[in-house]
Structure 1
């Protein structure tokens, strides 16, 4: 096989399955797969090397209905995938980063993830100079869940009131995105349940704090004031959120200094799902991983 022909086969594989190209070119599957693997490695290795300072990690389900979570590791500063691992296990993650070497790990200045303790413990174990930041949208979702629990409680209490039907997504929506009809729907529900209005207003105040470009010191003052107001409501659902907030407070406050989130990874995960849907006849994780890395190369 000439280099020119091998390159042609490789380019065809990038847009199709290995099986389809093997049939099309009258080549055995293993030969086409070898061509694809060699070409993919060259393309991935050709990526320019950059100094990684900010790392984000998130999980993605590999098989629907199975507990097979992979870990996606991203350079949040340059928006590049560093790696995708076929596991989400704390000890194995620690080993993976230790194998990258002490020098590499010591250059990491910021680590951002959701509130899975395994990710946080990994960062503490291998990144001695990193500031830990909990993704803002993940802890926002915890507050939204608390608000939704309040809605469900009121729905049971006021079974015959139309105002509490089909209210969930209106209640969780950002205030500035509400239509006039949705604002009226909320206003009617708030008339019946003033405690829901208070909760909703606290949700919006909380979001507003993190939308402002505050210093860490100013952010802490604003957050402490919000916590006092929330505690004064003595709401069982909000109190559960406050417990979670208190546990993660330091990592949450670090967002004011290092305004990184894992929302970039969410977008990357959606693209990874697209690669999965395209199929490509993946026979093993290595092929899948190479497809993903090539997709973002």
Structure 2
């Protein structure tokens, strides 16, 4: 979700279809929810603050994948603040009604509705998420028709960076290159 990438694509690859990887737009919603949790966490006792911090992954996990014990923990956390409850509900609506759409047209309709609800929430933490979704609306919707992902490429890139870090000081580039080729088979 880079404006530079978008301008290069629009200038040199005019007929190409730009797709935003699902990870990147799901992350926007997770960040917004996380920021609501952090804001609320500042105003509660230290014991509860530690509990909230330790249990933060439960809030970002889809409700359908929570065990009954985890669901109880989430409902306990949500009972402390209406803002957190509403932010969690927005996240769940996004997971259930936007991410499950089979094609671009239905995803666009669901995403517009989700953006409307997020705007009505007046949660300041969701403002940047809403702006990003509006700016990248077509690209996000394209990801529902094309299931391509750059995840494998990013994984390979991370593997190479790790090798580079572990092989610091290797003077022979050809040997380093062979090591990368071997590791990335």
TM-score bracket, shorter-length normalisation: 0.7 to 0.9
Instruction: After TM superposition, give the deviation of residue 141 of structure 1 in Å.
Output: 1.4
**1:248 aligned to which of 130, 136, 161:** 136
- Give me the TM-score of the superposition, normalised by structure 1: 0.54
- What whole-Å deviation, never above 9, does each CA across 1:77-106 have from its counterpart, x for those lacking one? xxxxxxxxxxxxxxxxxxxxxxxxxxxxxx
1:116 aligns with 2:2: yes
Relative to structure 1, is the Cα distance of residues 246 and 288 closer, same or farther in structure 2, using a 3 angstrom cutoff? farther
Relative to structure 1, is the Cα distance of residues 134 and 288 closer, same or farther in structure 2, using a 3 angstrom cutoff? farther
- Count of residues paired in the alignment: 183
* C-alpha separation in 1, matches of 2:145 and 2:39: 37
Give unmatched runs, 5+ long, in structure 2: none
Relative to structure 1, is the Cα distance of residues 276 and 155 closer, same or farther in structure 2, using a 3 angstrom cutoff? same
* C-alpha separation in 2, matches of 1:280 and 1:156: 42
Relative to structure 1, is the Cα distance of residues 213 and 228 closer, same or farther in structure 2, using a 3 angstrom cutoff? closer
**1:145 aligned to which of 27, 31, 55:** 31
Greater percentage in helix? 2
**2:15 aligned to which of 112, 117, 129:** 129
- Tell which has more relative contact order, 1 or 2 (C-alpha 8 A, sep 6+): 2
- What whole-Å deviation, never above 9, does each CA across 1:190-246 have from its counterpart, x for those lacking one? 112122122112112212345425221111111111111111111111122111211
Greater percentage in strand? 1
- Runs (4+) off by over 6 Å: none
Relative to structure 1, is the Cα distance of residues 224 and 122 closer, same or farther in structure 2, using a 3 angstrom cutoff? same
- Give me the TM-score of the superposition, normalised by structure 2: 0.82
* C-alpha separation in 2, matches of 1:224 and 1:285: 51
Match of 2:125 in 1: 237
* C-alpha separation in 2, matches of 1:123 and 1:295: 32
**1:155 aligned to which of 27, 38, 41:** 41
1:182 aligns with 2:70: yes
Root-mean-square deviation (CA, aligned residues, Å) is 2.6
**1:167 aligned to which of 55, 58, 78:** 55
